[in-house]
Every structure is written in structure tokens, then in C-alpha cells.
């Protein structure tokens, strides 16, 4: 049967820039049969589009799908276990858990659950780390494909200073990654590959140099961690004394480019910041994890004033939640903490608009996908969420605080996955959130959820 187009009526909110939102109250979102945003208007288009289905979501808020630009699929099972500092935490939880991904069944169940949970939280695009296992990474791509999420995925690479059960031979690590690139990069227009050197401590210079070359040749993404924890920085500088700084290691080995996403970047010096700007590398800000692992507080306002390009990442399981609503509020609260500790009362904290931008259009820009996703704009792919901020309001629909910004603020501060009612990717309804969280429609979700 030929698919018809669809019209959605609701409060529509989308970011234009870190400072500006586009609000239609109410608005009409017109989706083509191919899943592209055909129009967005205040005027009712029904007279002109008689064969389009009409969906009245008055009282609901429609926004773009969220974009999580840093997380670890392989760590989700221990999310929320007490935080320690990074290096101890890696040894205690992350490495032993990642070892289990040698088992294909474990890798398959974990991947299926992870993408399902991301979608349930309103995330329609993700950038994620698997483990050093090639097959587990291949399985993750298969599960992402089934779930219909947009995903940029990478096999973790580590060829030094790693536990014996995860360490790889340099050549094998590169070979496995190349094979995965050939199989999965740019598949269905939704799946992409990210070369994933874990961080400098676990990567040899040769590995990083070769990754830099492959990234250029194949035009794939690079993701890694940078300047997260003081002890990590000290060890890195001892391991690589020939370089001027932690960032300089990545710069000199050719890892920094516009498709590089650097997680954390908390303790950067001004020279390091210049290298990131010069190479147009991107920062995935992970405020929940930064506090949970006591790594530090990233100086958001300083970076914003310097025009660094930032997005948000949950960093599960350094972060305890896959919810980008949680990540937005953590980002705002973290930015206040910097100001409180520096005693500089005249620095403005992150605003609701900025947080929303980072979770949507900022994420799309950091992944170089802004021409396709990140906002409700004509010509973009229709990735959007139907949310219900009224349902979590203490006064429900009797609340006197219902202007669009107030609703968005309540959504961010009080929302969890229960406010995400429906999730659409490329115009297709992927998730309907009914009473007992039953996930209908997409047969992928008929599998038992956690």
C-alpha cells in the first residue's frame, strides 16, 4: 500500500541556535510519505493536503529527537553503580564487563536492550563505543539496524596498557576496524562508523597514527576521550613525554579533524583549546559522568564564548542515565556549579535554550548531520518526539505556568522517559509509549525488555 503523508498539530519547539528557539503554538508539522519534513507552519494546511492523515496532539509538545553524542553500549548493565574515580572505575567495572562481550549472546542481548532503551528515552541518533571485540561490534550494528535508530558505532581500539583480556595487536585492531568500515559505514543512510581509540593511555603512537590516516582515507568519524581526570592526564603526559600536551598527542598523530568527537575535555589549557578550534574537532560534554566519576566540571560558558562546538553525551555508564532530559538538566546545574565555585556571579549559567540546542541541533552539527537532522525544518528528515509535559506537572492542565518556555523547562527539569509518548525516525513511528511501557508496532520491541 502506498504510504500517505501526515500532519501533526501540537506545540512545536525546535532550536535555531544556542540562543534562539523556533516556537509554533500551535503549529502544523507536515511529513511527506518519504519521511521528510515538507512544511512547518502556523496555518492549518489540511485544505491543501486532503489525502494526508491528520493527528491532533493539542496539549502535547513536539520537538526534534535527541542526539546522544557519547556513550558506551557495553557498559549499560552496570549504570548507576557507585562512582569512583576514572581509572579505578575502569578496572573495577568497565573492563571486566567489556570482557563479557566475547560471548555473542551477551553482546546481542545488550545491544538490543541498549537501542530499545535509547529510543524509549527519545534518543533518535547516538554515537557509541562497543568493546574491542569485532563480532560484538558487528552485532551492535545489526541490532541498531533492526531498531531503526540512527547510530554511529565503533569497535574500541586498545593495544597497550590494557588488561590482557582486552588488549589487541595493533595490526589486528586496524584490520578489524577496516572490515567493519567496509561493511557498515554509511549503511541505509542511518549507520556510520567511528574509529574508536579508547584514550591515549591504551593506544600506541603507531595505532593512533594509522587511525588518523584511515579516518582521512575513508572519511569516517573518530571518537575518543580527552582530558577527563587529573590522574589520567598525568599518566598520559608521562607515557608520551615527546608531546606538549594530551591534546597535542592526538593532534600530532593526526586524530583531530572535523569528524572527531572528543568526550569530556574538562581540564584543557588554552593551547589545547586552540588545537581543537584549529582542527574543528568537536566536544561531547558529559556533565552527569563528569560529576558521577568526580572528574571535574567542564567550563561551559568559557568554551561557548570561545565558539567551541559542543554537544551532549550521557557517557553511560560513567553517566548513570540514558535520558537526554537528565543530561540537559545536569548540564545546566553543572554550569551553575562552575560559577559558584569561581565566585564569579556575573557569568551566566547555561540556559534552557542552550541545553536544548546542545541535545538537538548542536548534536547534529557535531556529527556533521545538521543538513539532515537536529531541528524541525523543511527538507530535514522527520526525527521527532511527541512529549507530554503536562503529565508531570504538579497541577496537570490546571497549571498557570504553561507558556512554551515554561513547558520546555518543566520537561527538562522534571521529565523522564514517561514523558516521551511517541518516537518517530524518518517519519516512521518507532515507539508508542502506552500504559505499561509496552513497546508496540516495531516487532523488534516484542522481545522482552529489561
The residues that touch ligand GUN, with contacts defined as CB under 6 A, are 72, 86, 90, 94, 198-199, 225, 228, 289, 315, 318
Q: How far is the CB of 282 from Zn ion (least distance, A)?
A: 14
Specify the DSSP element, H or E, that contains 217: helix 205-218
Residue 29 binds: one of Zn ion, ligand GUN, none (C-beta under 5 to 8 A by kind) = none
The b/e string for 324-348 (b: 16+ C-beta within 10 A; e otherwise) is bbbbbbbbbbbbeebbeeeeeeeee
Select the binding partner of residue 426 from Zn ion, ligand GUN, none (C-beta < 5 to 8 A, by kind): none
Residue 297 CB, shortest distance to ligand GUN, in Å, is 15
- Cβ 157 to ligand GUN, closest distance in Å? 11
Q: Which does 261 bind (CB under 5 to 8 A by kind): ligand GUN, Zn ion, none?
A: none
> Whose Cβ is closer to ligand GUN: residue 159's or residue 315's?
315
Q: What is the DSSP letter of 433?
A: B
Cell of 315: 557517557
Which whole-number Å values give the CA distances from 385 to 159, 313, 431, in the listed order?
41, 19, 10
Q: Annotate each residue in 142-161 with x if it binds Zn ion (CB under 5 A) or - if it does not, as one string.
A: --------------------
Pairwise CA distance, residues 10 & 417, whole Å: 19
Residue with cell 584511515: 214
The smaller minimum CB distance to Zn ion, of residues 315 and 393, is found at 315
Residue 406: exposed, middle, or buried by beta-carbon count in 10 A (0-12, 13-18, 19+)? middle
- Separation between Cα atoms, residue 409 and residue 205, nearest integer Å: 45
Residue closest to Zn ion (Cβ): 315
Q: Looking at beta carbons only, is 154 or 299 nearer to Zn ion?
A: 154
Q: Which of 327, 350, 326, 329 is nearest to 338 (CA)?
A: 350
Q: How far is the CB of 336 from ligand GUN (least distance, A)?
A: 22
Whether the CB-CB separation of 301 and 268 falls below 8 Å is answered with: no
Q: Do residues 422 and 441 lie in contact, with contact meaning Cβ atoms separated by under 8 Å?
A: no
Closer to ligand GUN by CB, 133 or 198: give it: 198
Report the partner that residue 86 touches, choosing among ligand GUN, Zn ion, none (CB closer than 5 to 8 A by kind): ligand GUN
Strands (E) located in 260-358? 260-264, 282-285, 310-312
| Contact stretch for Zn ion (CB under 5 A) within 9-17, 110-118, 307-315, 346-354 | 307-315
Task: List CB contacts of 97: < 8 A, sequence separation 6 or more.
Answer: 74, 75, 77, 78
Contact (Cβ atoms closer than 8 angstroms) between residue 306 and residue 272: no
Specify the pairing of strand 310-312 against strand 282-285. parallel
Q: In this complex, which beta carbon is closest to Zn ion, that of residue 263 or of residue 265?
A: 263
**Alpha-carbon torsion 245, 166, 224, 88, what sign?**
negative
Task: Give me the least distance between CB of 238 and Zn ion, in Å please.
Answer: 22
The nearer residue to ligand GUN, 149 or 203, going by C-beta atoms, is 203
With CB under 5 A as the contact rule, the residue among 168, 176, 315, 354 that binds Zn ion is: 315
**Residue 199: which of Zn ion, ligand GUN, none does it interact with, CB under 5 to 8 A by kind?**
ligand GUN
**C-alpha cell read off for 185:** 559505514
Q: Minimum distance from CB of 163 to ligand GUN (Å)?
A: 12
Total residues belonging to the chain: 450
Cell 562552575 belongs to: 338
Nearer to Zn ion by C-beta: 264 or 380? 264
CA distances from 194 to 153, 351, 385 (A): 6, 31, 26
Question: Which lies closer to ligand GUN via its Cβ, residue 225 or residue 410?
Answer: 225
Pick the closer one to ligand GUN by CB: 199 or 384. Answer: 199
The region of 55-63, 142-150, 259-267, 407-415 touching Zn ion under the rule CB under 5 A is 259-267
Residues binding Zn ion: what is the number (CB under 5 A)?
2
Residue facing ligand GUN at closest CB distance: 318
The footprint of Zn ion on residues 74-113 (CB under 5 A) is none
Choices 8-16, 250-258, 260-268, 337-345; region in contact with Zn ion by CB under 5 A: 260-268
Alpha-carbon span 360 to 375, nearest angstrom? 7
Query: Would you state the cell numbers that stand for residue 76, as one nine-digit string?
Result: 549499560
Only one of the segments 234-242, 291-299, 312-320, 370-378 lies at the binding site for Zn ion (rule: CB under 5 A); that segment is: 312-320
Nearer to ligand GUN, 148 or 198 (CB): 198
Q: Which stretch binds Zn ion (CB under 5 A): 138-146, 258-266, 374-382, 417-425?
A: 258-266
The C-alpha atoms of residue 179 and residue 174 are separated, in whole angstroms, by 9
Sites of contact with Zn ion (CB under 5 A): 263, 315
Amino acid at each position: 500500500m502506498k504510504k500517505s503523508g501526515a500532519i501533526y498539530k501540537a506545540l512545536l519547539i525546535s532550536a535555531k541556535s544556542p540562543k534562539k528557539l523556533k516556537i509554533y503554538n500551535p503549529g502544523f508539522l507536515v511529513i511527506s510519505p518519504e519521511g521528510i519534513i515538507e512544511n512547518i507552519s502556523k496555518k492549518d494546511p489540511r485544505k491543501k493536503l486532503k489525502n494526508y492523515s491528520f493527528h491532533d496532539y493539542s496539549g502535547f509538545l513536539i520537538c526534534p529527537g535527541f542526539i546522544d553524542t557519547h556513550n558506551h553500549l557495553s557498559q549499560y548493565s552496570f549504570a548507576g553503580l557507585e562512582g569512583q574515580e576514572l581509572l579505578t572505575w575502569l578496572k573495577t567495572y568497565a573492563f571486566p564487563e567489556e570482557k563479557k562481550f566475547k560471548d555473542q549472546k551477551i553482546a546481542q542481548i545488550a545491544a538490543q536492550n541498549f537501542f530499545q532503551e535509547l529510543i524509549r528515552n527519545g534518543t533518535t541518533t547516538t554515537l557509541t563505543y562497543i568493546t574491542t571485540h569485532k563480532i560484538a561490534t558487528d552485532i551492535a550494528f545489526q541490532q541498531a539496524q533492526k531498531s531503526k535508530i540512527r547510530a554511529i558505532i565503533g569497535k574500541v581500539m586498545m593495544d597497550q596498557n590494557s588488561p590482557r583480556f582486552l588488549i589487541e595487536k595493533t595490526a589486528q585492531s586496524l584490520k578489524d576496524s577496516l572490515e567493519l568500515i567496509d561493511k557498515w559505514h554509511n549503511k541505509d543512510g542511518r549507520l556510520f562508523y567511528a574509529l574508536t581509540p579508547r584514550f591515549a593511555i591504551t593506544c600506541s603512537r603507531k595505532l593512533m597514527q594509522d587511525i588518523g590516516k584511515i579516518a582521512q582515507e575513508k572519511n569516517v568519524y573518530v571518537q575518543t576521550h580527552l582530558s577527563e581526570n587529573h590522574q589520567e592526564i598525568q599518566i598520559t603526559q608521562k607515557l608520551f613525554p615527546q608531546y606538549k600536551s594530551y591534546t597535542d598527542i592526538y593532534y600530532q598523530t593526526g586524530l583531530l579533524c572535523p569528524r572527531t568527537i572528543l568526550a569530556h575535555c574538562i581540564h584543557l589549557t588554552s593551547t589545547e583549546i586552540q588545537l581543537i578550534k584549529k582542527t574543528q574537532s568537536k566536544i561531547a560534554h558529559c556533565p552527569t559522568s563528569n560529576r558521577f566519576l568526580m572528574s571535574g566540571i567542564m567550563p561551559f560558558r568559557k568554551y561557548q564564548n570561545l565558539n567551541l562546538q559542543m554537544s551532549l553525551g550521557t557517557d553511560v555508564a560513567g553517566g548513570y542515565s540514558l535520558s537526554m532530559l537528565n543530561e540537559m538538566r545536569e548540564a545546566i546545574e553543572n554550569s551553575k556549579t562552575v560559577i559558584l565555585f569561581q565566585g564569579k556571579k556575573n557569568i551566566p549559567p547555561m540556559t534552557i535554550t542552550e541545553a536544548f540546542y546542545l541535545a538537538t541541533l548542536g548534536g547534529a552539527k557535531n556529527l556533521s548531520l545538521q543538513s539532515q537532522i537536529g531541528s524541525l525544518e523543511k527538507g530535514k528528515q522527520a526525527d521527532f518526539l511527541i512529549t507530554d509535559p503536562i503529565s508531570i506537572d504538579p497541577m496537570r492542565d490546571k497549571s498557570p505556568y504553561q507558556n512554551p518556555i515554561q513547558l520546555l523547562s518543566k520537561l527538562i527539569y522534571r521529565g523522564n522517559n514517561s514523558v516521551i509518548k511517541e518516537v518517530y525516525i524518518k517519519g516512521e513511528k518507532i515507539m508508542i509509549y502506552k500504559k505499561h511501557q509496552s513497546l508496540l508496532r516495531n516487532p523488534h520491541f516484542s522481545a522482552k525488555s529489561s
